Amino acid sequence: QVHLVESGGGLVQAGGSLRLSCAASGRAFSNFAMGWFRQAPGKEREFVTTIGSSGRSTHYADSVKGRFTISRDNAKNTAYLQMNSLKPEDTAVYYCAAASTPYTRTAGDAYDYWGQGTQVTVSS
């Protein structure tokens, strides 16, 4: 079992930045690929980014490429999502997730564990 807790969400103006953190506890964090997903009101959950267990491989949704950066610190059992140049359309609840594989995964159903989510609101 892996327990994930997100933090760092909040309200920010368009063009601003936020850094989300995802703290993991339980099984060996370094064995899991991590991902970030988001869900806006009235919309389906969508993939944002993923990172492999070693941190060497990443993949981004086109909508965030060049603005968001995923990273991880296996010594701290924590994954991060640095979000820059935020836009109002980035407003959503952001979820981190862990997949029982070392490889990046973009599909939500590839993930075994999910956090409770953190709200990000970008004002125009």
Q: Do the Cβ atoms of 104 and 67 come closer than 8 Å?
A: no
SS3 track for 62-80: CCCCCCEEEEEECCCCEEE
Q: DSSP E strands: which ranges in the chain?
A: 2-7, 10-13, 18-26, 33-39, 46-51, 58-60, 68-73, 78-83, 92-99, 113-114, 118-123
DSSP code of residue 85: S
Q: What's the pLDDT score for residue 1?
A: 84
Q: Do the Cβ atoms of 77 and 58 come closer than 8 Å?
A: no
Q: What's the pLDDT score for residue 6?
A: 97
Per-residue pLDDT of the chain (124 residues), as tens digits, is: 899 999 999 999 999 999 999 999 987 899 999 999 999 999 999 999 999 999 999 999 999 999 999 999 999 999 999 999 999 999 999 999 999 999 999 999 999 999 999 999 999 9
Q: How deeply is 25 buried, as exposed, middle or buried, from its count of CB atoms within 10 A (0-12, 13-18, 19+)?
A: exposed
CA distance 6 to 16: 19
DSSP code of residue 100: S
Q: What's the pLDDT score for residue 26?
A: 81
